Structure 1
Amino acid sequence: MIWESKMPINEVREIRCKTTVFFGVGAIKKIFDICADLKNRGIDKVVVVTGKGAYEKTGAWKHVVEAFNAHGIQYVLYNKVTPNPTTDQVDEATKLGKELGARAVIGIGGGSAIDAAKSVAILLEYHDKNCRDLYEFKFTPSKAVPIIAINLTHGTGTEADRFAVVSIPEKEYKPAIAYDCIYPLYSIDDPSLMTMLPRNQTLYVSVDAMNHIIEAATTKTTNPFSILLAKEAFRLITKYLPQALMHPEDLTARYYLLYASLIAGISFDNGLLHFTHALEHPLSAVKPDLAHGLGLGMLLPAVIKQIYPVCSEVLADVLSPIAPDLLGVPGEAEYAAEAMENWLRQMGLVEKLTDLGFSENDIDKLTDLALTTPGLDILLSVAPIPATREVIKEIYKDSL
């Protein structure tokens, strides 16, 4: 593998894999063991953070309530988290948790609910702070109450990483935070909870995972572990996503998409992210109804086109399931981008930014947001090519 010769072996880099994840069909039943452990830790009051309905429709809530009752755990439920959760929602959930005296947080849902739960866990330890303080980096947290993540999608990997994303609506900011104190203590990844995902959501969350690994494998801070996980995650997504789209209740397909999402989360927990996420956050900050994975998918081919010349060896290896004839040379950038776009189109992601109401008139504003939103500067700083204003504008323009 040509990329191995390019790995800077004299640079010391972190390798992370910290959360205990209960993985597999039926894993939701492990909530009983988790509640027993919480009780042993002296925790008998929790706040549950979730969205408006999936926590019940999937059947997850039934198991959680039974486990609470079996172990004498009191709880308060906050079920108003929306896609692209807001600082106000986190503050509301935190208030409920503080009123109860909660000493742990359980997030049930996809990335939105779990990221909101992580944010609540921090704020339960900092009584003089609010969520805007947290996401505008007005303080640096070093502690959070224990977090339990019950995952309902196969996309974010947030159940096994130290990241969270919450929007500040009035500023059209969608910042990302990353702190060791918000690794979940335990997570549940049960594919049987995901068979009801609608077709579009199945596609978008899988595209999210795909972006995680393409970015993580190509940052300035990547390591061989990130690249190893990226290759396997990409192989699994391209193999099992078509099956899940055609047969939503196929547990084998859901199992491997969920596994791909999990290891993609660990991949970018190690390698970090760069252009696609840094440039998507402004899109869904301006248009909160925009699905995160859809935004990422619209940007991905343009990002590959920009970065391929300096990451050709790694990307040729990772993208080989959809473009086996890539040689790993810089001149293939256009071809690699087209291969990615063609695959996305085959899966059903055909939209461009203009289809979502964006135009050339929006590019300067989006570029400003990418460059000024708190936290996104960290992602842009590890991009494989300089994240100049011109490069960012070119990616947006190519994605119209």
Structure 2
Amino acid sequence: MWEKDININEVREIRSRTLVYFGVGAIAKIADICKDLKARGINKVLVMTGRGAYKKTGAWDHVTKAFEATGMQYVHYDQVTPNPNTHHVNDAVKMAHDFGAQAVIAIGGGSAIDAGKSAAILLKYPGKTAEDLYTFQFTPTEAAPIIAINLTHGTGSEANRFAVVSIEEKNFKPAIAYDCIYPLYSIDDPALMTGLAENQTRYVSIDAVNHVVEAATTKVASPYAIDLAISVVKLVAEYLPVALKDPKNLEARYFLAYAALAAGIAFDNGMLHYTHALEHPLSGVNPNLTHGLGLAMLLPAVLKNIYPARPATLADVLAPIVPGLKGCGCEAEKVAEGVEKWLFSVGSTHKLLDEGFKAEDVDKLVELAFNTPSLDGLLGLAPTDATKEAVRAIYTESLKPCHK
């Protein structure tokens, strides 16, 4: 109910390790950000985007006006894909080095922001490549300043220290986490998100739900992560159906954007485990797979595994989508089916079989979950014993058709 007291047209400052300008109209803050960059002696920037959203949303008009007003020079890499790979990062870094870029402005969803964070590190390490970075050949302690203009309500990358980039040749999709890649400034403007397609709206919001389900149940989960998780699931449950029905509804976009931001901060504190560790092999093998869909297909089976280990926490977190839980480990099957029913209600009806995965793929996926750099660390944070048998069981369960 508290949402009714919020004026969504007032831009607020939300401070974590990043200063986030949040609210309808927040994109106008790019003018102040560019002035601050100039005051810091930064005159040239690398802009990283996908191929169209940065223009279609109207963000680019604001950014270029701010560049003109401040005399900021830029070079633009516009080839980032939904699952960015090391080639994108390396190509952008070469452009940036040749140009003399001193900072990175990433405009897009998590893919553009993660690729931008990666490029920002490599600007400070000219002898290194994205492959070096994502196979942990060195440990960065500095990066060029990062500005994130977020165009989706899913990843939370605009306010945390994580980035994900694929090494396609190895089917690896590793994650990095370094303090040096917290963005200096970020912008979350719900007005830039009203053009998200129905599937994007659906799956970026499901991504946020997965972030907090995991963050609230890792071995290092804090009260802060759990409290954020409770709020995030409530907001997504309430506002995702509204946004799917009325994509231009700014109130719905506002609270979904806030939920995603809170979820990003939650897993910055509580970390992640099974669902992300097992999804990365899926989109590592199939780069065309939508990350949020991959998570959705795995979530019920993951909950069946972990609910007995964290029943009280998950009963509170999942209450808006599976009402009536008592926090008893014997409810695991009910929880898995209840979450699957909710996913179905918001239009996420696919399982792994529907996306071309087969039973004979499971062994490869299991090996990737344990051999992809960084994913073993996530599995080690799971609240249950993440053996190969447990991981195999989750993948196998996720092949089955939905309960409709």
| 1:389 CA drift (Å) | 0.2
Query: Per-residue deviation at 1:17?
Result: 2.6
Matched, 1:225 2:189: no
Q: How many correspondences in the alignment?
A: 385
* Aligned residue type for 1:159: E
CA distance in 2, matches of 1:67, 1:44: 12
TM-score normalized with structure 1 length: 0.96
Runs of 4+ in structure 1 deviating by more than 3 angstroms, as ranges, are none
Give the residue type in structure 2 aligned to 1:85.
P
Matches within 5 A, 1:361-380: 361-380=360-379
Q: What SS class does the counterpart of residue 283 from structure 2 fall into?
A: helix
Q: After superposition, where does 1:65-144 map in structure 2 within 5 Å?
A: 65-144=64-143
| 2:391 paired with 1:392 | yes
Amino acid at match of 1:178: A
Which residue does the alignment assign to 1:9?
none
Which residue is equivalent to 2:213? 214
Residue 324 (structure 1) shift? 2.1
Q: In 2, Cα distance between the equivalents of 1:198 and 1:120?
A: 28
RMSD over aligned Cα, in angstroms?
0.7
Name the residue aligned to 2:332.
333
User: Which residue pairs with 1:153 in the alignment?
Assistant: 152
**Distance across 1 between alignment mates of 2:321 and 2:177:** 32
Alignment-derived partner of residue 297 in structure 1: 296
The residue that corresponds to 1:322 in the other structure is 321
SS at match of 1:21: strand
The residue matched to 2:310 in structure 1 has which SS?
A: helix
The residue number in structure 1 matching 2:269 is 270
Residue type of the partner of 1:291? Answer: T
State the AA in 1 paired with 2:335.
A
* One-letter amino acid matched to 2:191: S
- State how far apart, in whole Å, the 1-side matches of 2:371 and 2:91 are: 27
> Which runs of 5 or more structure 1 residues have no equivalent in the other structure?
1-15
CA positional deviation for 1:377: 1.2
In the aligned structure 2, how far is the partner of 1:17 from the partner of 1:387? 31
Q: For 1:399, give the aligned amino acid.
A: S
Q: Within 2, Cα distance between the matches of 1:234 and 1:18?
A: 23
**AA partner of residue 181 (structure 2):** I
Partner Cα separation in structure 1 for residue 93 and residue 20 of structure 2: 25
Query: Helix, strand or coil: the match of 1:258?
Result: helix
- Gapped runs of 5+ residues in structure 2? 1-14, 400-404
The CA deviation string for residues 77-109 of structure 1, in whole angstroms up to 9 with x for no partner, is 000000110100000000111111111000000
| 1:276 aligned partner, one-letter code | T
1:50 equivalent to 2:20? Answer: no
Matches within 5 A, 1:174-253: 174-253=173-252
Q: Aligned with 2:280: secondary structure?
A: helix
Letter of the structure 2 residue corresponding to residue 103 of structure 1: Q
TM-score by length of 2: 0.95
Partners of 1:116 and 1:201 lie apart in 2 by 19
Give, in whole Å, the separation in 1 of the partners of 2:90 and 2:96: 10
**Given residue 393 of structure 1, which amino acid in structure 2 is its aligned partner?**
R
